[in-house]
Amino acid sequence: MPRTVKSLTAQEVKGAKPGAKITRLFDGKGLYLEVTPSGSKRWRLKYRLHGRERLAGLGPYPEVSLAEARKRRRTIREQVRDDIDPIEKKRQERAAEAAKGDSFETVATAWHEHHSREWSDTYAKRVYRRLEIDVFPAIGDMPISEIRPADIVALLEAMQERGVGETAYRAGRDLEGIFDYAKQRDKIASNPAARLTRKKAQVLKKPKVKHFAAITEKDQLGELLRAIDGYRGDSQGTTKLALSILSLTMVRPGELRHGVWPELDFDEALWTIPATRMKMDRDHLVPLSDQALAAFRALHKVTGKGTLMLPSIRSKERPVSDNTFNAALRRLGYDNTQMTAHGFRSTASTILNEEGWNSDWIEMQLSHVEQSGSRAPYNRAKYLDQRRHMLQAWADMLDGLRREDG
């Protein structure tokens, strides 16, 4: 038997309290009240058209009462029976209304075109994609002058509820910029997105950066290196070589896992990681110390007949599991609060900075970039000679720590 939904009362709607997450109070026939953690309330209606489930917004409470929400539900259900898409109909009506003034999407597109002259193509595409996926479907057709803070809060909280907090934060910054752009051109009197991404705002917090556990004391690092030298977790020794390469090159574990031999120039002692595999969408040059080159030569003797540097034992067409390196560290006695594969980057960065090496060289070797999306030409060989010198000194230091008895 179908589940029976108890109808809401006006008192229940009025008294609905916010919780830690978005809560929903159902009235039947697809209608429900959505209550956000900030206390805003909006009516929504689920319906099916052509076999697909759709979700329509019926407006905020208390502007739209329970009785009015039920009336709108009845209207939409009648439209569906007549094979009319209510969302598309509403979009057309809003578009007609927006013709009297600028819609949000029109202004946002102009803002994007204005700033994309200063951005890289990759960054510009990323920004517009965020707008297309999450922002335009929610408020794109609305006249920009009619958008209220509550509309933006509902949009961003829905994104956070979906588990894309980092994207929500970035979208919030985009929205603030778009409304500033509109205000400067006298299209709106005030910015409804202002302060949503500021420290005092409770609506949208910048996600905490995830820090990977890393050893940063030299004596402990020496112990780890000696433990890696004695690792016997795989018969071919590829995992031990991979951990050694991570310690020497400052690359991300995923960049090594997916590495292919054509990327590596043994004669030039240089590894070119293509933009398609880099977090920042740009080629990255990794100069190889004598020790790193020796580790790659040893690895090549084992896996060099194939394309992948580190193929899975189950399939030569797939790389080793993303848990391979951390699992090896666990077997060596290091839990995830002490050391991780990604932590080798922090280990090198911390110690090299403490040793007085140029921070620009270190950041370049880590492939860290400014987040501004600047169109300034990227020189992938920047500081290459200096970085080669630094990584050779780092490799020599690791050898020294490895030989010490603690």
- DSSP-derived secondary structure for 23-49: EEEEEETTEEEEE-TTS-EEEEEEEEE
Asked if pLDDT for residue 225 goes beyond 80, the answer is yes
Residues pairing with 43 in the sheet: 33, 59
pLDDT score at 370: 45
Task: Name the pTM for this structure.
Answer: 0.51
Residues pairing with 129 in the sheet: none
Domain range 104-184, CATH class: mainly alpha
Fold of 14-88: Double Stranded RNA Binding Domain (3.30.160)
CA distance 93 to 97: 6
Catalytic residues: 252, 279, 342, 345, 368, 378
pLDDT single digits (tens) 40-79: 889 998 988 888 888 888 888 988 899 999 999 999 999 9
Asked if pLDDT for residue 146 goes beyond 90, the answer is no
- Say if CB 382 and CB 362 are below 8 A apart: no
Mean pLDDT of 236-246: 94
Domain range 218-403, CATH class: mainly alpha
Asked if pLDDT for residue 119 goes beyond 90, the answer is no
CA distance 21 to 162: 11
Asked if pLDDT for residue 1 goes beyond 50, the answer is no
pLDDT score at 356: 86
Cβ atoms within 10 Å of 209's Cβ, excluding its own: 6
CA distance 173 to 52: 33
CA distance 262 to 264: 5
Q: How far apart are the first and last CA of the chain?
A: 71
Q: What angle do CA 184, 187, 191 make, to 5 degrees?
A: 65
pLDDT single digits (tens) 332-374: 888 888 899 999 999 998 899 888 888 889 888 988 754 444 4
The mean of the pLDDT values for the chain is: 84
- Say if CB 144 and CB 180 are below 8 A apart: no
Looking up tokens 């910029």, which residue turns up?
A: 177
Spans of all domains in the chain: 14-88, 104-184, 218-403
